[in-house]
């Protein structure tokens, strides 16, 4: 196997050694579903996808959880004072917060399919895990790590030895979140303390009873509670964007380790920033691009680009390298992908040749992806094969093998040995399992399976009697 990964805490490349190689456990901070995700978010989720694909390629088994933050959170400068993202979007659209969250969750899954992301094993919803979050806060209370009153509960970071060391943040620098919570800030003993529970403001749709009164949980306790519930108090890998390292990951980790006395994630990986034409993405700059924006093409006019072409563009840069998205760079990536596909189509038509070269390239590809997911090097190897005289069955085999990670369609699906119209066996297996769960009246498990089936690009059409039929979800926008 021999995988090495850069570790965010030690800031070194270390050999990856999971507790159980047949079930590597991975948590990814997922989207807040009040609008479409932008291409910077997608670059982060792509890191999870190439990580999972590489692990499977190297023979590991995986179990992945990605949360859906469906109750919104005050998030730095993007919001009016104290207003919740999901609620603000709902007000603007004249819909309920739940309707907005459901709509953008579906939109998110559609974007994931367009990007060819493997579906997570579970997509825990924040709004469905509030009892777990309350239990976490109670555990912290037992350990004397909280304070508060009037419905506000705060985590006391002074109870965590070495707080700040994880993200390399000096205490006293304050946290950006306090700017949106002046009332809470006034109650805090120090700027780094953070809210675990707060009272619901009038009109808030998402609110729950708790030992501290009716209210709602803080963001950091959400991810910690969901990760612990689905992966246990100790799991292998935690993935997210670099902007989440502080305060979100520092705080999730601090409260999870304090509450459970266990390590939480063994290994943290962060995806670097994505800039657009050298500038930070923002709504006001009009450069917060979504996949639909990419397909529509540059604002100045010109050709749009597909999700597969954007995926390829991202793969040509290492995940820890900041990416500067430019339309010119995207167009060059699209041309390179088209050349690559053309080269494989031609090579596949030739008689089988270059099997020795293919074996050497296969090793090179494997060592590239094993070296901290070095996809740029792996892509270069993919370009090298048709040029090295590899042809026929040998070329088809390499294309099929490497596309298990690249997933950019080196050869048309049928050529790569995949059935374009048939239902994949793992989807059929999930559908059978769902039928069994429904018959056993375990609707929660059945619904979770249906979600995984949908995330795989299929949906179930329930028949009156017993088993259900599967149909492919049509992707009208994918080219």
Residue in this structure with the two tokens 């030895």, named with its chain if needed: 161
Omega of the bond leading into 126 within 30 degrees of 0 (cis): no
Which residue's CB is nearer to Zn ion, number 133 or number 223? 223
Total residues interacting with Zn ion, rule: CB under 5 A: 2
Question: How is 322-350 classified by DSSP, letter by letter?
Answer: -EEE-HHHHHHHHHHHHHHHHHHHHHHHS
- Closer residue to Zn ion, CB minimum distance, 255 or 337: 255
Stretch that binds Zn ion, among 21-29, 177-185, 205-213, 345-353 (CB under 5 A): 21-29
Q: Does 29 participate in binding Zn ion (rule CB under 5 A)?
A: yes
Residue found under tokens 């021999």 = 2
Q: Closest CB to Zn ion among 223 and 398?
A: 223
d(CA 4, CA 12): 10
Nearest approach in angstroms of CB 252 to Zn ion is 6
Helix ranges (DSSP H) in 179-262: 182-187, 219-231, 250-260
**What part of residues 223-252 is at the interface with Zn ion (CB under 5 A)?**
223
> Which C-beta is closer to Zn ion: that of 169 or that of 326?
169
Binding of Zn ion by 271 (CB under 5 A): no
Q: Which two tokens stand for residue 48?
A: 């999870």
Nearer to Zn ion, 110 or 238 (CB): 238
* Nearest distance from C-beta of residue 243 to Zn ion, angstroms: 11
- Name the residue nearer to Zn ion (CB basis): 29 or 65: 29
Smallest distance from the beta carbon of 224 to Zn ion, in angstroms?
Answer: 8
| Choice between 176 and 299, CB closer to Zn ion | 176
Distance CA 5, CA 2 (A): 10
Q: Which range of residues in 26-34, 169-177, 297-305, 463-471 is near Zn ion by CB under 5 A?
A: 26-34
Q: Which contacts qualify for 451-454: CB closer than 8 Å, 24 or more apart?
A: 451/123, 452/119, 452/120, 452/121, 452/122, 453/427, 454/109
Return the number of the residue (25 or 306) whose C-beta is nearest Zn ion: 25
SS3 of residue 99 by DSSP: helix
Contact 175, 194 (CB under 8 A): yes
Q: How many CB atoms lie within 10 A of CB 352?
A: 15
Q: CB-wise, 110 or 253, nearer to Zn ion? A: 253
| Residues listed for the chain | 479
Which residues, in sequence order, are CB contacts of 61 under 8 Å at separation 6+? 21, 22, 23, 24
Q: How far from the centroid of its chain's Cα atoms is residue 465's Cα?
A: 37
Spell out, one character per residue from 205 to 224, where the chain touches Zn ion: x when CB under 5 A holds, - when not. ------------------x-
Is there a contact between 276 and 287 (Cβ–Cβ < 8 Å)?
A: yes
CA–CA distance, 380 with 408 (Å, rounded to integer): 14
Min. distance of Cβ 458 from Zn ion in angstroms? 28
Residue 73 CA to residue 145 CA, distance in Å, equals 23
Nearer to Zn ion, 29 or 42 (CB): 29
417: left (phi over 0), alpha (psi -120 to 50) or beta: left
Q: How many CA atoms lie within 13 A of 189 on its CB side?
A: 13
The residues that touch Zn ion, with contacts defined as CB under 5 A, are 29, 223
């Amino acid at each position: 196997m021999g995988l090495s990964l850069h570790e965010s805490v030690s800031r070194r490349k270390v050999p990856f050694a999971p507790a159980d190689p047949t079930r590597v456990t991975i948590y990814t901070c997922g989207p807040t579903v009040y609008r479409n995700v932008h291409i910077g978010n997608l670059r982060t989720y792509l890191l999870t996808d190439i990580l999972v694909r590489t692990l499977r390629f190297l023979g590991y088994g995986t179990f992945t959880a990605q949360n859906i933050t469906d109750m919104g959170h005050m998030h730095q400068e993007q919001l009016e004072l104290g207003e919740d993202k999901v609620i603000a979007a709902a007000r603007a659209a004249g819909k309920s917060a739940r309707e907005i969250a459901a709509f953008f969750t579906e939109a998110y899954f559609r974007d994931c399919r367009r990007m060819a992301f493997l579906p997570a094993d579970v997509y825990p919803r924040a709004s469905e895990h509030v009892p777990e979050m309350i239990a976490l806060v109670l555990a912290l209370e037992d350990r004397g790590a909280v304070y508060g009153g009037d419905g506000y509960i705060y985590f006391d970071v002074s109870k965590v030895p070495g707080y700040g060391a994880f993200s390399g943040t000096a205490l006293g620098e304050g946290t950006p979140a306090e700017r949106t919570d002046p009332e809470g800030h006034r109650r805090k003993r120090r700027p780094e303390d953070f809210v675990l529970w707060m009272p619901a403001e009038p009109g808030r749709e998402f609110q729950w009873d708790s030992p501290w009164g009716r209210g709602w949980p803080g963001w950091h306790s959400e991810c910690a509670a969901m990760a612990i519930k689905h992966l246990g108090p100790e799991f292998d890998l935690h993935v997210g964007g670099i902007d989440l390292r502080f305060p979100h990951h520092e705080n999730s980790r601090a409260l999870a380790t304090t509450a459970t006395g266990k390590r939480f994630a063994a290994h943290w990986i962060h995806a670097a920033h994505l800039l657009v034409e050298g500038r930070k993405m923002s709504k006001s700059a009009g450069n917060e691009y979504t996949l639909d924006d990419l397909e529509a093409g540059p604002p100045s006019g010109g050709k749009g680009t597909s999700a597969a072409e954007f995926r390829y563009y991202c793969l040509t840069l290492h995940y820890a390298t900041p990416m500067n998205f430019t339309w010119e760079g995207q167009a060059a990536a699209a041309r390179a992908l088209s050349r690559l596909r053309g080269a494989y189509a031609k090579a596949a038509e030739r008689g089988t040749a270059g099997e020795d070269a293919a074996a050497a390239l296969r090793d090179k590809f494997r060592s590239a992806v094993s070296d901290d997911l070095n996809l740029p090097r792996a892509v270069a190897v993919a370009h090298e094969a048709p040029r090295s005289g590899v042809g026929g069955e040998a070329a088809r085999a390499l294309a099929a093998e490497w596309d298990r990670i690249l997933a950019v369609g080196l050869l048309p699906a049928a050529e790569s040995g995949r059935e374009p119209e048939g239902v994949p066996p793992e989807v059929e297996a999930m559908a059978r399992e769902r039928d069994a769960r429904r018959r056993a009246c375990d609707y929660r498990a059945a619904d979770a399976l249906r979600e995984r089936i949908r995330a795989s690009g299929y949906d179930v059409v329930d028949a009156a009697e017993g088993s259900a039929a599967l149909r492919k979800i049509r992707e009208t926008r994918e080219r």
